[in-house]
Every structure is written in structure tokens, then in C-alpha cells.
Amino acid sequence: MADLKALAEQIVNLTLLQAQELKTILKDEYGIEPAAGGAVMMAGPAAGGAADAAEEKTEFDVILVDAGANKINVIKEVRGITGLGLKEAKDLVEAGGKAVKEQAPKAEAEEIKKKLEEAGAKVELK
């Protein structure tokens, strides 16, 4: 049981790049594909699902839609936000449509969006 808890903590603390690599390993070597959006699908409650949907969303994914003209400034911001190395941050910025931060609290997501937009990027919160 302690081993499973340690494994769960390791998974929760993965960086965005590490999570992407884990997804690739699971898919290529074991034929396991995560559900759409990268989340594990779990059975929800039989009733009351509509009430949950009506609640205000508190966690957001910060999606970098376009780096804009000042790609270098955006890469610097992405490195500061994610802790990625230069190559990984550059790859994330150039890919476009990728999450810079997932499941961030609303205030943090808005702050990240503001920083990236000030650097010249186009960003959306999902």
C-alpha cells in the first residue's frame, strides 16, 4: 500500500514534459491510451451530475494558442512558469495548442495568461 501511495505522489508531481513522456511510454509499450484531455475516466455518481456541472469551474488549463511575433519572450515566460529547459520550452511554444499549466487555480491561471499575453502570446483558459 505504501508503494502505491509513493507511486501516486510521483505521478502527481510530474512536470508537463514528463507526463507527456509517460503517456508516450504507456501508449507505445503497453497499448494504454489516456482518455480525451489526458484525464483518467472514472465512473461518476448516478444522480446529481447536472448539479456538479452548474458549479463554477475552479481549475483551468492554460493553453498556449500562438506564440506571436516575440517567440523568444514567450519561451522565457514558459520556462519561468513550467521550469522546463530551453529546448523543452521552445518545443512547447512552437507546437502551439499545448497546455503550459494544467489544473491551475483560477487566480494562478489568470496570472499566467496575463504574463504570456504581455510577452506577445495568444492564450486561452479551458
Strand partners, 99: 63
Q: Looking at residue 55, what is its pLDDT?
A: 58
For 73, left (φ over 0), alpha (ψ -120 to 50), or beta? alpha
At residue 46, the 3 state secondary structure works out as coil
Whether the pLDDT of residue 40 is over 80: the answer is no
Q: Looking at residue 7, what is its pLDDT?
A: 82
Q: Looking at residue 37, what is its pLDDT?
A: 47
Digit-coded pLDDT (tens) for 92-116 = 888 878 888 888 888 888 898 999 8
pTM above 0.85, yes or no: no
Q: Looking at residue 35, what is its pLDDT?
A: 59
